């Protein structure tokens, strides 16, 4: 947004730097590119968290009162489970066109589409509070599920576009935090608003009131997004983001990017491990009401509170992990440790659920949630590191696509196992796959490409005398050399041996300066 007051904070020297960059066709010089952090970045990330919250709340609002929804609409439990699984199913076919849309039209466009769909879904559901209108509530939930495709993979992209190198993991955690808070509210509020009463008319009023609240909140957030949400800052926040803008503006191909990601072995291992972990979380969340009611009849309200405990603990885990990554940059080690503790937490939860003490379930569920839900931003940020300079939205989209596929499979299979052999066997089923995911995570090679790009940018810093070189001396050939150098950096980060990559880039920089 030109004319934004935040740009007035730029120092005079930086202002000159910006002018120099504007005069060069490709925005690349022998020196490091100008960067700046805008205060409004916090408004953007919290606004994103708000509409992510609104959408995530709707994902679980049926599942946590599944026994009541079954009675009201006269459908079986598997059909009610699909009101949650429709979120996972919608993601799989639409993620690729949505990530293409994100790359072509940017964050603001995807934010507007997401909120339009989310708002429409909530109002459609307002009209579905009758026992014979289950298809209407499914239609409304489908619209909200489609909106989720425009939301779920955004946190890492938004963090990279708006935040500094020492803030990206924290910002990504805040973006995921909104989604988790929405799930937490989805666990807590529906059991409070929709009690298990026998009178159908009274129950319809409670359900309608719940729908009105979510519709009002979604509409308010939609208006804020239209007014406030911005595409990107005028000046990039980091050297890696500045390089990315140049490379994507010259030779970026969406299909080529997808192919490079699919050929990245470390990233594909992360895709599988992430899918196993997050898919397990989706299954637990969807089937939580059935698990608790099976062992503790009549405890619908406490089932919601246990879900709330899982997510609140996970929100704390997400923020702590994000701060830890910004401080230490130990992506592989942190991801592996959190994965191991997710497995341990699942084992403890599994073998204590049947003890007959709800307070024990609260504690074990909290431990499970701290690590399993805390893993979400770790996966996003580790993926960005492994795949730089590829689009953050594309890498996150592939991660979430894996999670949705595993989530659908795990929810269906675990639900059938619970029906036939009980909750214990169903949870052991998930433990086995979490163990597999832990082993896979251990084999991921830690290749932190984004960190290397930021470090190599420091090498590009020239002496004060060099920085005063007139722009006209570069002439028309500056554009050509900039394009070649940026393309070479892109190829180096994706294809060459990591041990010689830094040396090759530095030699290229020195040649540029000698010229």
Pick from 405, 433, 454: which residue ends a domain? 454
Same-domain check for residues 287 and 227: no
Same-domain check for residues 212 and 357: no
Pick from 411, 428, 454: which residue ends a domain? 454
More confident residue, 151 or 490: 151
pLDDT one-digit tens code per residue, 162-199 = 888 788 778 887 887 888 889 889 888 898 899 888 88
Mean pLDDT, to the nearest integer, of 483-489?
45
Number of domains in the chain: 2
Same-domain check for residues 198 and 270: no
Q: Domain limits at 309?
A: 259-454
Same-domain check for residues 299 and 415: yes
Lowest mean pLDDT among 113-117, 201-205, 338-342, 462-466: 462-466
pLDDT one-digit tens code per residue, 336-365 = 999 999 999 999 999 988 887 888 989 999
Lowest mean pLDDT among 224-228, 295-299, 334-338, 477-481: 477-481
Q: What is the pLDDT of residue 210?
A: 94
Do residues 152 and 403 lie in contact, with contact meaning Cβ atoms separated by under 8 Å? no
Mean pLDDT, to the nearest integer, of 408-436?
91
Domain containing residue 442: CATH number: 1.20.1250.20
Residue 457 has pLDDT above 70, yes or no: no
Mean pLDDT, to the nearest integer, of 314-325?
81
Residue 514 has pLDDT above 70, yes or no: no
Same-domain check for residues 286 and 174: no
Cα→Cα distances 174→149, 154, 238, Å: 18, 12, 19
Instruction: Note every long-range contact of 345-348, with CB atoms under 8 Å and residues 24 or more positions apart, other chains counting.
Output: 345/369, 345/370, 345/371, 345/372, 346/280, 346/372, 346/427, 346/430, 346/431, 346/434, 347/431
Mean pLDDT, to the nearest integer, of 60-67?
87
Lowest mean pLDDT among 83-97, 138-152, 322-336: 322-336
More confident residue, 64 or 116: 116
Pick from 186, 216, 233: which residue ends a domain? 233
Whole-number average pLDDT of the chain: 79
pTM of the model: 0.66
Structure confidence at residue 251 as a pLDDT band (50, 70, 90) = low
User: No. of H helices and E strands in the chain?
Assistant: 21, 0
Q: What is the pLDDT of residue 455?
A: 66
Mean pLDDT, to the nearest integer, of 439-462?
72
Whether 78 is in a domain gets the answer yes
Whether 30 is in a domain gets the answer no
């Amino acid at each position: 947004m030109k004319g934004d007051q935040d740009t007035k904070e730029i120092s005079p020297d930086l202002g000159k730097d910006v002018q120099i960059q504007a005069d060069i066709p490709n925005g690349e010089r022998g020196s490091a590119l100008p960067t700046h952090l805008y205060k409004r970045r916090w408004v953007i990330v919290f606004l994103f968290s708000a509409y992510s919250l609104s959408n995530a709340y709707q994902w679980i609002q049926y599942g946590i009162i599944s026994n009541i929804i079954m009675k009201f609409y006269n459908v079986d439990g598997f059909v009610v489970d699909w009101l949650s699984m429709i979120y996972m199913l919608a993601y799989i076919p639409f993620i690729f066109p949505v990530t293409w849309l994100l790359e072509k039209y940017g964050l603001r466009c995807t934010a507007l589409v997401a909120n339009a769909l989310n708002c429409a879904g909530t109002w459609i559901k307002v009209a579905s509070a009758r026992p014979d209108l289950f298809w209407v509530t499914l239609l409304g939930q489908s619209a909200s599920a489609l909106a989720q495709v425009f939301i779920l993979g955004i946190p890492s992209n938004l963090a990279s576009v708006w935040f500094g190198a020492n803030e990206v993991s924290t910002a990504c955690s805040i973006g995921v935090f909104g989604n988790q808070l929405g799930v937490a509210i989805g666990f807590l509020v529906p059991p409070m608003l929709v009690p298990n009463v026998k009178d159908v008319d009274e129950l319809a009023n409670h359900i309608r009131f719940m729908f009105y609240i979510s519709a009002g909140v979604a509409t308010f957030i939609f208006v804020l997004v239209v007014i406030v949400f911005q595409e990107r800052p005028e000046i990039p926040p980091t050297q890696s983001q500045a390089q990315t803008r140049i490379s994507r503006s010259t030779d970026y191909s969406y299909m080529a990017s997808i192919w490079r990601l699919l050929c990245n072995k470390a990233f594909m291992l992360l895709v599988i491990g992430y899918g196993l972990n997050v898919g397990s979380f989706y299954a637990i969340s969807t089937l939580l009401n059935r698990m608790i009611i099976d062992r503790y009849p009549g405890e619908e309200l406490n089932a919601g509170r246990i879900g709330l405990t899982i997510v609140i603990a996970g929100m704390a885990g997400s923020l702590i992990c994000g701060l830890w990554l910004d401080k230490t940059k130990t992506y592989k080690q942190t991801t592996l440790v959190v994965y191991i503790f997710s497995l341990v937490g699942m084992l403890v939860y599994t073998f204590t659920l049947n003890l007959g003490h709800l307070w024990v379930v609260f504690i074990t569920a909290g431990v499970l949630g701290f690590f399993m839900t805390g893993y979400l931003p770790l996966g996003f940020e580790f993926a960005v590191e492994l795949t730089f300079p590829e689009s953050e939205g594309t890498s996150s989209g592939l991660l979430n696509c894996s999670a949705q596929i595993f989530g659908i499979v795990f929810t269906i299979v675990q639900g059938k196992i619970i029906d036939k052999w009980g909750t214990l066997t169903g949870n052991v089923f998930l433990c086995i796959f979490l163990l597999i995911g832990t082993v896979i995570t251990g084999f991921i090679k830690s290749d932190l490409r984004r960190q290397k790009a930021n470090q190599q940018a420091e090498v590009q810093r020239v002496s004060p005398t060099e920085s005063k070189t007139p722009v006209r001396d570069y002439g028309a050939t500056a554009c050509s050399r900039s394009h070649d150098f940026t393309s070479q950096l892109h190829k180096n980060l994706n294809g060459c041996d990591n041990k010689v990559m830094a040396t090759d880039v530095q030699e290229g920089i020195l040649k540029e300066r000698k010229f």
